Structures are given as C-alpha cells and as structure tokens.
Amino acid sequence: MLGYRNLVPKVETMNTIRIKICGITRPEDALAAAEAGADAVGLVFYAKSKRAVTAAQAKEIAAVLPPFVSAVALFVNEQPDVIREILHQVPIDVIQFHGDEDDDFCRQFDRPYLKAVRVQSAADIQTACAKFPNARALLFDAYHPTEYGGTGQSFDWTLLRGNIGKPWILAGGLTPENVADAVRTSGAAAVDVSGGVESSAGIKDKEKMAAFVAAAKVV
C-alpha cells in the first residue's frame, strides 16, 4: 500500500533570499514586481538618473503596492529638507543612500536606512561596516569613479564570502542569467536589481522580473 509520502509530488526547495527591484517608474511595473515575488521596490529620487521619479510619481507607485512589499527611497547627496519633504508626501518604508553621506546624516530621518558601498577591495567592505553602525544593512555595488550605482557592472563576488558582521545586500550587474551564480558565490541573503530586468531604461520587463526572482530563489 502506498503511503502519503509517495503521493506528494517533489518540488524544488525555495530559499528565503530577499529581493528588491530598483528603479521603478510606473505603477504597473511595481505591481508586476510584487506579483513576481519581490520583497521591495526602489524609487530613485536622483535627477541625474535615467530612472528618476518625482514625489507625485512615487506616491502613485507606492499606492499600488500590496501589504508586506516595501517602498525604498533612493537618494544621492540630497539636502535634508528635500528628503523630509519627500518622506512627508510618499509612504516610504526604508531609505537607501547612494552618495557620500555619513552615518550621522543617514540616521536623522526616522526610517531604517541602507547604505550603498562601491566595492573595489575587501577593505572597502570592512571599512563600511565600521563607518555605518546604524545602517539596517549595507548594499555592496560595483565601483565606478563617477557614477553612484545603476551602471550594470558587477564586481568580484568572492570578496563577500565569510562573516561580514552586518546584514548586506548584493547589487551590481545582476540579471536573470547570473543571479543564481552570484548568490551561490557570494552567499548573499538579499539581492538588488535594476537594469538587468528592463526592456529600456526605467521600463521593467515583466518576464525578466519573474525569471530573476525564480532564479534567485531556487539556489
């Protein structure tokens, strides 16, 4: 006689990796990201970015997010008053700082914050842990001499192996094709993608987002 165990189909094990899809510019893309299984969406408040949004656009995007999908606001060397005004207008859960801000600056806005770190060497990782003790997590991105993220470039993921001593997020050049390898190589528990799931700058591709989430979670 067959037991219940033999009647249960085998399924692939899904890991608990957290996924943020950044550079959302349209409500429909935010909904598609959430439906694909993203845990957070990123809203870029940096005028020089191809994915920049206004407070009014961000408010429309945030309004369609389902429960437990976080809205993350990204700033680059912005003035405190501007940040506070955006936080007043838009229901932001977490702030992500991508510029030259220090810990004192980042912690003043009554929101958990993430700090982006452009990685050239292992020393950059350890230095950042010491410099940002109040960060909820560090986001490790590829180094670029003039750009503050969103370059589509990756870095040596093996630098992240081992105990960093603080929660962290892997970013930089991730795509549906390489995210599984990136997670395996680095040991990341969270990943951040933008250009790797787009059809054009700022316009997300529904199929690419779904493929990215699926690849990241089955490692």
Structure-token pair, residue 139: 């986001």
Q: Give the pLDDT of residue 138.
A: 97
The predicted model scores a pTM of 0.89
Q: Are strands 113-119 and 18-21 parallel, antiparallel or unpaired?
A: unpaired
- The residue among 14, 15, 54, 20 whose CA lies nearest residue 34 is 20
Structure-token pair, residue 12: 């692939």
Annotation marks residue 141 as catalytic: yes
Domains (range + CATH), the chain: 14-217 (3.20.20.70)
Structure-token pair, residue 199: 């059809």
Contact indicator for 75, 98 with CB cutoff of 8 Å: yes
Distance CA 212, CA 22 (A): 13
Q: Give the pLDDT of residue 4.
A: 44
Annotation marks residue 22 as catalytic: yes
Distance CA 115, CA 148 (A): 12
Among 29, 106, 141, 192, the one annotated catalytic? 141
Among 22, 29, 106, 192, the one annotated catalytic? 22
User: CA separation (Å) from 87 to 49, 80, 94, 213?
Assistant: 19, 11, 10, 28
Averaged over successive runs of 10 residues, the pLDDT of the chain (219 residues) comes to 47 76 98 98 96 98 97 98 98 97 98 94 90 96 62 81 89 95 95 96 96 92
Distance CA 127, CA 204 (A): 34
